[in-house]
Amino acid sequence: MTWGTTDLTVRYPHTLALDAVTFAAPAGQVSAVVGGDGAGKSTLLRSLVGAVRPTSGRVDAPALREIGFMPTSTGVWRELTVAENLDFVAAAYRVRDRTRRADLLDAAGLTAVTGRLAGDLSGGMRQKLAFTLAMLHAPRLLVLDEPSTGVDPVSRVELWRLIAQAAVDGAAVVLSTTYLDEAERAGTVCVLDNGRVLRSGPPEEVTASTPGTITVTDDPPDRDLAWRRGRRWHAWHPGPPVPGETPLPADMEDAVIAATLAGRTS
Ligand SMILES: Nc1ncnc2c1ncn2[C@@H]1O[C@H](COP(=O)(O)OP(=O)(O)OP(=O)(O)O)[C@@H](O)[C@H]1O
């Protein structure tokens, strides 16, 4: 089963947030949506869960009770304990399977803190609780809006393990992220800018289709066409390599930035 959108356009009063976006999220896979601030990531994810009404185009998603959604604001009740958060969602979705609940808590490393207020958890633990809540009713479509933002690198690894497992167990997982190294782990990547799809496909196809030439430099000729990587800069221009230039093979971060620059300069 594949969920997704076809030619989806969403217009807010002063903004065209999505412009004819076609996006596929197959079951058993993690599909990542990437792009800068305001690219339209949240609007696409919220459209999939029925929280945003399409201006035109189509959304294919399962019934609401078969969708799990983790919004950017984490989606936990801070004044409830971990156990009470789970009870609340279990009651709402009529989940009676205590084993699943215990297994998810265990996998998320939260078993020892079930009596703690969600508001007193660390940021990473809170994200894992939010993920557990979104997963509890075994949704067929799991939509996660920037699940790892603000999570430390160790917790990010653990969170990714849980996310990948949800896909292995058969869910179609859609997540947005601004961490482009993470997108490299997804089955497919959709690069958005200004509401348009710039690239989509498996990560290696997206990086292989990087336009123009990227080089490493200490002193980029045009800082609008360059980005910092560690202590050095990566610089981009739209043409093929010029004599004397050593082009750099793009990773996901380079590919997304180059595609965005190409989209804006063409
Ligand atoms: N409810 C709304 N009303 C009006 N404009 C909105 C609304 N929600 C989002 N927008 C605008 O639509 C565009 C896309 O926003 P969206 O939140 O989908 O982007 P995003 O890629 O998720 O960005 P960010 O990572 O900054 O949240 C932006 O220009 C934003 O200002």
- ipTM computed for the complex: 0.95
Using the structure block, give the residue that is written with the tokens 């807010």: 12
* pLDDT attached to residue 252: 94
Ligand 1: distance of its center to the CA of 53 in Å? 14
Closest ligand 1 atom to residue 72 Cα is 27
Atom of ligand 1 nearest to the CA of 36: 21
Q: Which atom of ligand 1 sits closest to the CA of residue 40?
A: 18
Ligand 1 binding site (Cβ under 6 Å of any ligand atom):
12, 15, 17, 35, 37-43
| pLDDT tens, per residue, the chain with 266 residues | 999 999 999 999 999 999 999 999 999 999 999 998 899 999 999 999 999 999 999 999 999 999 999 998 768 999 999 999 999 999 999 998 889 999 999 988 999 999 999 999 988 899 899 999 999 999 999 999 999 887 888 888 888 999 999 999 999 999 999 888 889 999 999 999 999 999 999 999 999 999 999 999 999 989 999 999 999 999 999 999 999 999 999 999 999 999 999 988 76
Task: Output the pLDDT for position 15.
Answer: 94
| DSSP letters for the chain | -EEEEEEEEEEETTEEEEEEEEEEEETTSEEEEE-STTSSHHHHHHHHTTSS--SEEEEE---GGGEEEE-TT----TTSBHHHHHHHHHHHTT---HHHHHHHHHHTT-GGGTTSBGGGS-HHHHHHHHHHHHHTT--SEEEEESTTTT--HHHHHHHHHHHHHHHHTT-EEEEEES-HHHHTTSSEEEEEETTEEEEEE-HHHHHHT--SEEEEESS-S-GGGEEEETTEEEEEESSPPPTT--PPPP-HHHHHHHHHHHHHH-
Residue 119, phi then psi, degrees to nearest 5: -65, -20
**Rounded to the nearest whole angstrom, what is the distance from the C-alpha of residue 28 to the centroid of ligand 1?**
28
- pTM value? 0.92
Q: Whose CA is nearest to atom 16 of ligand 1?
A: 40
User: 51 alpha carbon to ligand 1 midpoint, in Å?
Assistant: 13
Closest ligand 1 atom to 46 CA: 18
pLDDT for 72 equals: 84
